Amino acid sequence: MYLFFPIFFFLPLLHTLPRNVHAIPTPTTCRDTCGSIPVKYPFGTGFGCGHPSFTRYVKCSSATLQFSTPTGIYTVSSIDYVSDTLVITDPLISTCSSMQNSGSFSLDSSAPFNVMTENVFVLLGCSTSSPVFDPNQDLCDTGSGSHVCRGMYSCKGVEGIGLEPSAAMSTCCVYQSATRMGYELDLPKLQCSTYTCIYGFGEDEGDPMKWKYGISLQFNDSYYTDGCKECEASGGTCGFAGSDGSFACICRNGVNTTLNCYGQGKNARLWERKQMK
């Protein structure tokens, strides 16, 4: 008799829960910044925050917003929500002031990101037998790209990859990837020591010390739906819940809803006003 008492005691309480509210609160706190970087939908600071299609790529770790691909973990240095772009930096990417042997970079074709066409990828310290110099492949920009190679090889940083400043540009290639979907920069396969990427030339295109080094990516903004906008208008944060990654509006009191946060905790008055309209 006493064993069944707790079950019957709580049954009425379970029936009083709103149908659109999950009984289990979100286990993580979704923040609007990670370090100094503003974090807005579709990105999130932890599991359950943002859109599930982006959580495998972007997460906040020790106040640093990180971007993960099959080739490594990169730091997100900035996000522009107007142009839907973000810039990532490879810790081993070469710049004018510092060059070292680096790894590869790739972005799978299913990612909700595209490599911006404005990026200028430069391969440095390549073997003369590298496939990038195959005249039948046309993988190097030998026209306007030559001034980029000249600029990079004028840097004292080339000593880090065993070259002398103003070395012969025959080992440099402004790379034009043949990949249409995703992106792949396989340095061992291309027989090159390192790479750099320039997403802007700053105020002086002739001074490689002022160039902007990093990889600019555009993200898909079609995930920002009217449902998410209503959630944010109610004071909530857009996220997801359950094994199917279904939409969840995460309220400040920690409750998940499938609609919005009106009527939840501090937003109760906003909900009441909305109902009176």
Nearest Cα residue to 60 out of 75, 70, 72: 75
* Amino acid (one-letter) located at 61: S
Question: Within a domain: residue 14?
Answer: no
180 pLDDT tier (thresholds 50, 70, 90): low
* Amino acid (one-letter) located at 220: N
Q: Choose one of 219, 245, 261: the last residue of a domain.
A: 219
Instruction: Report which of residues 12 and 256 the model is more confident about.
Output: 256
Residues 178 and 95 both lie in one domain: yes
Q: Choose one of 219, 248, 265: the last residue of a domain.
A: 219
183 pLDDT tier (thresholds 50, 70, 90): confident
Residues 39 and 88 both lie in one domain: yes
Q: Which run of H or E residues covers position 168?
A: none
Range of the domain at 167: 33-219
Residues 137 and 239 both lie in one domain: no
Q: What is the pLDDT of residue 208?
A: 95
Question: Within a domain: residue 49?
Answer: yes
Q: Are 273 and 53 in contact (CB under 8 A)?
A: no
Residues 169 and 76 both lie in one domain: yes
29 pLDDT tier (thresholds 50, 70, 90): low
pTM across the whole model: 0.81
Residues 264 and 209 both lie in one domain: no
Structure confidence by residue, pLDDT tens digits, 196-229 = 999 999 888 889 999 999 999 999 888 899 999 9
Question: Within a domain: residue 234?
Answer: yes
Q: Percent of the chain beyond pLDDT 70?
A: 83
Question: Within a domain: residue 210?
Answer: yes
Residues 133 and 253 both lie in one domain: no
Secondary structure (DSSP) of 60-98: EETTEEEEEETTEEEEEEEEETTTTEEEEE-TT---SS-
Listed in sequence order, the residues at least 6 apart from 152 whose beta carbon sits closer than 8 Å to its beta carbon are 94, 96, 122, 124, 158, 172, 196, 208
Q: Which of 156-165, 208-217, 256-265 has the lowest mean pLDDT?
A: 256-265
Residues 238 and 199 both lie in one domain: no
Q: How many structural domains are present in the chain?
A: 2
CA contacts within 13 A on the Cβ side of 129: 2
Question: Within a domain: residue 142?
Answer: yes
Q: How big is the CA angle at 141 (ends 138 and 142), to the nearest 5 degrees? A: 100
Residues 211 and 255 both lie in one domain: no
Structure confidence by residue, pLDDT tens digits, 59-81 = 999 999 999 999 999 999 999 99
Mean pLDDT calculated for residue range 142-167: 87
Residues 252 and 129 both lie in one domain: no
Residues 106 and 162 both lie in one domain: yes
Residues 42 and 154 both lie in one domain: yes
Residues 120 and 73 both lie in one domain: yes
Question: Within a domain: residue 27?
Answer: no
Q: Choose one of 203, 219, 235: the last residue of a domain.
A: 219
Q: Are 171 and 150 in contact (CB under 8 A)?
A: no
